[in-house]
Chains A and B, each alone.
Chain A
Amino acid sequence: MESGKVYGVILAGGVGTRMGNVEKPKQFMELGGKPIIVHTIEKFVMNGEFCGILVLTPKQWMKHTEDLIRKYVTKDERVKVIEGGATRNETIMNAIAYIDGQGDLDEETIIVTHDSVRPFLTHRIIEENIRYAREYGACDTVIPATDTIVESMDNQLISNIPDRSKMYQGQTPQSFRAKHLKDIYESLTKEEKEILTDACKILVIKGEKVHLVDGEESNIKITYPYDLRVAEALLGGI
């Protein structure tokens, strides 16, 4: 069943503080001769289901992002650069506000939110995000945890070791019925908004169903210099 418009929401809010001596935000670092964010945007451009692809970035990097899109990405009217918010969730809310401004926000509108620094996203992951968001209202891309997860309440002693077979590592995309997410977010108190930094967590805490989508080990987030080395190794075929 075809229903509701689908928007890609690429979150490029990072300012790169974890990237060692590198000055540029990590999404602008080059991988295989192109900025990381360009690879990510291109993967969204390949999917015809998106009626809009919103790239949310800090105000001071908006022009730079637009220049990169013009330089590298095919001319595609669907790609728009808009200003991000102070937090991840505020950034997502800015995207939803933009969609609302376009007259496209209704109960069935889907957003596929994705970290700009995960350029190894695949066609299948996007397709399944759209499918599960339509079917269940929300979904989160995960891979089974390979390392044992250890919990420590005081950062000194182990308080719990959960059963690894029930543990997953969260990736992105995370996808939602946009209006529903907005309504729930707006119902949170200021304190709740500060604590609940993950959009899926908001839904889970409010008792909403969030379906799992199989991620890929290769769908890495390029956060540290080490990750960039891994990413370059994945590009061994170039």
Chain B
Amino acid sequence: MLNAVYQLKKPRQFELVFKDITFDEEHIIVRPTHLSICNADQRYYQGNRPEEILNQKLPMALIHEAIGKVVYDPTGEFQVGDRVVMIPNLPCEEDSVIAENYLRSSKFRASGTDGFMQEYVQTTADRLVKLPEDINLTVAAFTEIVSVSYHAIERFMRTAHERRNVIGVWGDGNLGYITSLLLKSMYPEIQVYVLGLDKSKLNDFTFADGIYLVNAIPEDFQIDHAFECVGGNGAPRAINQIIDYIRPEGTIGILGVTEDNAPINTRMMLEKGLRMIGSSRSGREDFVNLVDLYRRRPEVVDYLENIVGEQVVIRDIKDMSRAFEKDIHKLIGKTIMVWEK
């Protein structure tokens, strides 16, 4: 079957190519229905990656956050019509110690291999997780980024010492919202404080125990552990501020992606005996556990609905550019492409 794939040919230019899909006994075919734009997609779209990376990775279909409907399944795992979330990580080997999302051999959609901006996606059963039938589809579209926070929290909790009275989350964007929301939902006994730059954004973190502007943190404020969800140019300042406010032997979970190296106060890090855990992407187990959380705790989905931003119906390549351009100008929120292409 000649499958239409919408690749980013160069920054700000999408192009249609066709790639053949051959039906076989192990691959499932999914029709994408709702796609969500991530900052990583924007870095390619706007050409904010180093030129050699752009030359190496483009042309490539963007988007690694998406849900769809099963249209063909020879394996019998799913029914035709089942709503599924698609896992963008594509492991090429198994390892008993290293998680699938950290294996250097794994491929990742929209980062070296085509993402979900396709007419149909061919994949294996283990890269799909069935969604509850009544789930909010626009929220489900960005399950992947939520699974990244879920993964980071699980990983963090395996490392951070047990005194977890107060945890600070730096970052008032989507990642900060999702991480602090999951943290509070999964561990209601922990006091979660969110620290950011924008008061109006912070005011939406109604589930948190407290919010502070980063330039007006009370002097006696202290935290046992922290998550950095800032990324970009702001990440070094956030990490150093965390080092200032964290108690000794605390753990810092780093989630924000930076293009440049981040200079950090290693002297104080050593003096306080801090631990830093990097987290990136997620694996099948995180998706399965998160979808189970959505099922058990529907209020989490309701909170996530607050960060659904623009919904753009995609019938045309022009609509794809329109969605990405709208996404650039948003204050906060996830831009969803309702995929009719």
Are B2 and A235 closer than 8 Å at their CB atoms? Answer: yes
Pick from A34, A124, A218: contact of B340, CB under 8 Å: A124
B17 touches A234 (CB 8 A): yes
A127 to B315, CA, bound (A): 12
Shortest CB–CB separation between residue A150 and chain B, in angstroms?
A: 29
Q: How far is B18's CA from A31's CA once the two chains are assembled, in angstroms?
A: 12
Are A47 and B72 neighbours in the complex by a CB distance under 8 Å? no
A204-238 interface with B by 8 A CB criterion: 214, 218, 234-238
Determine if A68 is an interface residue (Cβ-Cβ < 8 Å). no
Q: Please list 27 pairs of residues, one from A and one from B, whose beta carbons are closer than 8 Å in the complex, sorted by A's number.
A: A32-B2, A34-B22, A39-B1, A39-B20, A42-B1, A42-B21, A42-B23, A43-B1, A43-B2, A45-B1, A45-B72, A46-B31, A46-B120, A48-B81, A74-B23, A74-B74, A120-B2, A123-B31, A123-B341, A124-B315, A218-B18, A235-B19, A235-B20, A237-B5, A237-B7, A238-B18, A238-B19
Residues of B within 8 A of A34 (CB): 20, 22
CA distance A214 to B340 in the complex (A): 13
CA distance in complex: A214, B19 (Å): 22
B53: Cβ under 8 A from any A Cβ: no
Seen from chain B, the residues whose Cβ lies within 8 Å of a Cβ on chain A are 1-2, 4-5, 7, 16-23, 29, 31, 71-72, 74, 80-81, 119-120, 315, 340-341
- Do B341 and A122 touch across chains, with their CB atoms under 8 A apart? yes
- Size range of the chain A interface in the assembly: 20 to 34
**Given A119-B2, A124-B315, A124-B340: A46 and B71 within 8 A (CB)?**
yes
What 10 A-B pairs come out closest when comparing CB atoms? A42-B1, A237-B17, A74-B23, A237-B19, A32-B20, A39-B2, A46-B71, A234-B18, A235-B18, A123-B119
Residues of the A chain whose Cβ atoms lie less than 8 Å from the Cβ of B80: 48
Tell me how many residue pairs across A and B have CB atoms closer than 8 Å.
67
Residues of B within 8 A of A43 (CB): 1-2
Contacts of A31 in B (CB 8 A): 2
Chain B CB within 10 Å, residue with most, of A73, A124, A214: A124
The smallest beta-carbon distance between A74 and chain B, in angstroms, is 4
A73→B23 contact, CB < 8 A: yes
Smallest CB-CB separation from A31: which chain B residue? B2
**A33 within 8 Å of B (CB atoms):** yes
Give Cα A45–Cα B73 distance, bound, in whole angstroms. 12
Given contacts A122-B341, A235-B17, A237-B18, 13 further A-B contacts (CB under 8 A): A34-B22, A39-B20, A42-B23, A46-B29, A47-B71, A48-B71, A48-B81, A73-B23, A214-B315, A218-B4, A234-B18, A235-B2, A238-B18
Instruction: Chain A residues near B340: list those with CB within 8 A.
Output: 124, 127
Complex Cα distance A33/B2, Å? 11
Within the complex, what minimum Cβ distance (angstroms) separates A160 from chain B? 31
A229 to B5, CA, bound (A): 19
In the complex the two chains form, is B119's CB within 8 Å of A122's CB? yes
With a cutoff of 8 Å between Cβ atoms, the chain A residues found around residue B5 in the complex are 237
- Contacting B120 at CB < 8 Å: which of A39, A123, A218, A238? A123
Q: Are B72 and A74 in contact (CB under 8 A)?
A: yes
Residues in chain A near residue B20, CB distance under 8 A: 32-34, 39, 235, 238
Residue from A34, A46, A127 having most chain B Cβ neighbours under 10 A? A46
Question: Please, which residue of chain B has its CB at the minimum distance from the CB of A119?
Answer: B2
Report the bound CA distance from A235 to B1 in whole Å.
Answer: 11
Give the residue name and chain of the A residue nearest to B70 (CB). A48
A74 — nearest CB in chain B belongs to which residue? B23
In the assembled complex, which residues on chain B have CB atoms less than 8 Å from the CB atom of A48? 71, 80-81
Per-position 1/0 for A108-126, Cβ under 8 A of B = 0000000000011011100
User: When chains A and B are docked, how far (Å) is the Cα of A127 from the Cα of B340?
Assistant: 9
Q: Which residues of A contact B120 (CB under 8 A)?
A: 46, 123
Give A192 to B72 CA distance when docked, in angstroms: 43
Closest residue of chain B to A73 (Cβ to Cβ) is B23
Nearest-neighbor residue (CB-CB) of A34 within chain B: B20
Q: Mark interface residues in A85-129 (1 if CB within 8 Å of B CB, else 0).
A: 000000000000000000000000000000000011011100100
- Shortest B84–chain A CB gap in Å is 15
Closest B-chain residue to A234, C-beta based? B18
Say whether A46 contacts B72, CB under 8 Å.
Answer: yes
Among A46, A74, A124, A237, which residue has the most Cβ atoms of chain B within 10 A?
A: A237
Task: Name the A residues within 8 Å of B7 (CB-CB).
Answer: 237
Establish whether residues A124 and B29, one from each chain, have CB atoms under 8 Å apart when the complex forms: no
A73 to B74, CA, bound (A): 12
A238 contacts across to B, CB distance below 8 A: 18-20
- Find the A residue at minimum CB distance from B61: A237
Would B315 and A218 count as touching, CB distance under 8 A?
A: no
Specify the chain A residue showing the minimal Cβ separation from B114.
A237
A120 CB to nearest B CB, Å: 6
Q: How far is the CA of A237 from the CA of B31 in the complex (A)?
A: 19
Complex-state Cα separation, A42 to B71, whole angstroms = 12
In the assembly, what is the distance between CA of A43 and CA of B119, in Å? 11
Question: CA separation between A43 and B29, bound complex, in Å?
Answer: 12
What sequence of 0s and 1s flags, for each residue 63-78 of chain A, a beta carbon within 8 Å of any chain B beta carbon?
A: 0000000000110000
| Chain B residues within 8 Å of A123, by CB | 31, 119-120, 341
